[in-house]
A and B are shown apart, each in its own frame.
Chain A
Amino acid sequence: MTKILIVDDSKFSQKITSSLVGKNLDDVSFDYADDGEEGLEKFREIRPDYLLIDLLMPKLRGQDLIESVRQIDFDAKIIVVSADVQKRVRDVIEKMGVLSFINKPLNDEKAKTIADIIRKGAQ
């Protein structure tokens, strides 16, 4: 069972992400956090195999969440799914060693990309 934690302040977006990604993977379970702080708590508690993190969030921004997670587990597997498409933002995030930076809105094709990354990692 692959455990995936989705951190996104939009319940709608959580639902889309889990349904699109879940469709392309077998044997996965999803957990959800509504903001960065909750994301950090759930990360400590659940220790997911993968994190799908949004950047624009209240309380703890995605970028800060990634840093905090890295301090706990330097090898944490993180995929960013964000509406922030600025090249400058992307450059900074990619330097933080995330597996991939996916632009919202999520569609089938992008969900497959995420699923492929996760499947490869599981093998």
Chain B
Amino acid sequence: MTGKVNREDILKELFNIGVGQAAGTLSEIIDKKIILDVPDVKILNVELGKAELDKFLSQVAEGAVMVSSISFDRQLEGTVSLIFPADKMHQFIDLCLHEDRGEEASMEFTDIDFDTVKEIGNIILNAIIGELSNTVNIPVEYTLPEVNVLNSAKADLFVSDEAYHLVLMMYITFNIEGTHIDGAIVINMTLKSLDDILNTIDKMYDGR
């Protein structure tokens, strides 16, 4: 058989499929090709997860971010946040809307911008959580993402301090017509939820 299959690798493949589907949907809607980079998944305890996320927030986003997030409960419990640097979002939105606002790009985000990001967030988060839930056959319920702009974001906002929680971090890069947008997806879920997912996957593919 092939080498040892670790948990990160399994999740990475599942999220890759999710992100690939999201890119397919988005590409169809905006009628542009999207080049994706392979996201690597890190499974971290809360402390390490916060440190990793803070690094992203300060280095890539310089603190100002646009976040779409959803919470889910029932069989699986946790929150998912899709985080993009705020300064790149005007460009990202312009590319999606076939607009070029040039100087006016320094304007604050409008309700229309928020709605656009809400749709993008919905597409990506649906694909990721949907793929996960499909694969393990555990239904997940959640609402539409909430979109916020945060000027000095800290990891505490996305990662709860509760015991038995884990942080899944992955970085995704969209490249649309030469413009790179580096985002992060942070999943904060209970250890039990992750165990349920991985155990189900093990059962499905073991013994073959």
Do A and B come into direct contact in the complex, CB within 8 Å? yes
Interface residues of A (CB under 8 A from B): 9-16, 18-20, 23, 32, 56-58, 82-89, 104-105
A-B pairs, 5 with minimum CB distance:
A83-B20, A85-B24, A19-B208, A10-B13, A83-B17
Contacts of A57 in B (CB 8 A): 38
**Contacting pair B20 A18 (CB below 8 A):** no
Contacts of A105 in B (CB 8 A): 14, 17, 131, 135
**Any A CB within 8 A of the CB of B16:** yes
1/0 per residue B1-44: CB within 8 Å of A?
Answer: 11111100110111011011101100110000110111000000
Contacts of B164 in A (CB 8 A): none
- Compute how far the CA of A9 lies from the CA of B38 in the bound complex, rounded to whole angstroms: 9
**Contacting pair A12 B20 (CB below 8 A):** no
Contacts of B12 in A (CB 8 A): 10, 12
**Contacting pair B27 A87 (CB below 8 A):** yes
Cβ-neighbour of B4 out of A11, A18, A32, A56 (below 8 A): A11
**Contacting pair A15 B5 (CB below 8 A):** yes
**Contacting pair B2 A85 (CB below 8 A):** no
- Compute how far the CA of A49 lies from the CA of B1 in the bound complex, rounded to whole angstroms: 19
Contacts of A82 in B (CB 8 A): 20
Query: Nearest chain-B residue to A19 (Cβ)?
Result: B208
- Compute how far the CA of A105 lies from the CA of B18 in the bound complex, rounded to whole angstroms: 9
**Contacting pair B9 A85 (CB below 8 A):** no
**Contacting pair A23 B208 (CB below 8 A):** yes
**Contacting pair A86 B27 (CB below 8 A):** yes
